[in-house]
Structure 1
Amino acid sequence: MEKNRNSWRGKANQLGGERYPLDVIIEGDTGITQQWERQQDKEAVAAFNARVQAWGTKVDGALRSSISNWITKDVKLSGSLKQNYRHYGKTITAGEEVTSVGFAFKPEGIYVHLGVGRGYNMQGGTRILTKKSGGWNRNPKPWFNPVIEAHIPELVEIVRDYCGTLLVNTTRIFINR
């Protein structure tokens, strides 16, 4: 867990930074020429981006609701939840299609989701007790993954409607154990 904790504290992962560590990536096996051709239809790109951003706003609301359901004393987590839309890692400019949707939040969100911290660590995908006193009184509160999982099919449909050859890569969106 120490490695994960330190990577989250890195400069690039601060909320003002550019990197959002949990991403849904929209990619395809089409080349740069096909992407350029798609982007010539400015109205289609704008409609696609608007639908993706509406999806992100809907997921953001569902995540905030999940936080309030799982976490009794939400001091900072829901306020830190941010979303970002990018075109190949850069801020979207006019006429560029969204290629990734990112969600960022304070590191505490990871700890709460996994049920780790203050004497509870992850080792090889298993929670272990490292504190010397007391028993198991901290449990995982899966506020993130189930919400994202429930909303991915809708994003897939949005992407399919826009361009049937694009794929939704979810390998970087879920909080890993």
Structure 2
Amino acid sequence: MAGVLKLKIHESGEELKNLLAKQSTARGRERIQALYLLKIGQVKTLKELAILLGRDTATLYRWFQKYKAKGLDGMLEVKKGQGRKPAIPSEVMDSLRDRLQEPNGFQSYGEVKTWLKEKFDIDASYKVVHEAVRYKLKVKLKTSRKRRRKRDRDVQKRE
């Protein structure tokens, strides 16, 4: 019969039903449900299953190819994106942490930025340097504030 899906499902209907109840994500439930519906014989063709689940047949085909190749775990596997690489690598952050702990560390974020450029050839923006030092390393750069000249003269006159 044309269009009949030939997929050997290794798990029993009861096992799939239990797995379906244990799934914590909609993605996992949907894929287990597809296998379950095929196993119990509620659907025979890929097209019927696609209509029932509201998915394209190519999507279902891709799921079943993963199932054939890697089994149930492969079909349910969720790949995590790598994300953006940090502007300041972890080794450099360790060196920066050590340098900040020294008594004569840095006076300003600009100094940190210059140090990164000279020592590691990292051209990080002021914002990146500030966030790294202040929020990731949780260090406050202590600088003395300039005092007002007028106030200094008033204090000198009183003395």
Q: Same fold (TM over 0.5)?
A: no
TM bin, normalised by shorter chain, reads: under 0.3
TM-score normalized with structure 2 length: 0.22
TM-score normalized with structure 1 length: 0.20
Between 1 and 2, higher relative CO (CA 8 Å, sep ≥ 6) is seen in: 1
> Greater strand percent: which structure?
1
| Higher-Rg member (1/2) | 2
